[in-house]
Amino acid sequence: EFRRVLFRSEFGSGVKKGGKKLSDIDRVPAFWPDHPTVRTDLLDYAYEVESFDAHLGRMLAALEQRGLLDHTLVIVTSDHGTWRYGKTTLYEGGLKVPLVMRWPSGIRPGLNYPHLVLNTDYAATLLDLAGADR
């Protein structure tokens, strides 16, 4: 049996629940074999991302309905997941993870910070924003 790239509990959810097809994947990263199991994992991951995006949209809409959206710091980040050549490597997948912050009354929109950032860097900033003594 071919070893899966991701270890999701619901193998095939991208096809079964997301209505996706293996042919929807236009390319497989060069460091993985182009195999139906890998393509299925990629579709499952895409379905997970789309599901997360929908939940985030509902959370932002709820903040907006309450008049809190522009005054709330929203941080969206992730980890490397279980991707091969992800965690603990110097491959691109081991260095890059998503990080988006939204806070119109505190962060200039469209700001792009091109340098490496560690999740541990957030603590001091968040404590400062909260007015905590250090």
List pLDDT tens digits, range 107-123. Answer: 888 888 888 787 788 88
Quick one: tokens of 55? Answer: 């939940």
Predicted confidence (pLDDT) per residue in 49-87, tens digit: 888 899 999 999 999 999 999 989 999 988 766 666 666
Q: In degrees, to the nearest 5, what angle opens at C-alpha 50 toward C-alphas 44 and 52?
A: 105
Cα-based distances in Å from 51 to 42, 55, 86, 102: 14, 6, 22, 20
Q: Which tokens sit at 123?
A: 């603590």
For residues 15 and 21, the answer to whether their CB atoms sit within 8 Å is yes
Q: What 3-state class would DSSP assign to 52?
A: helix
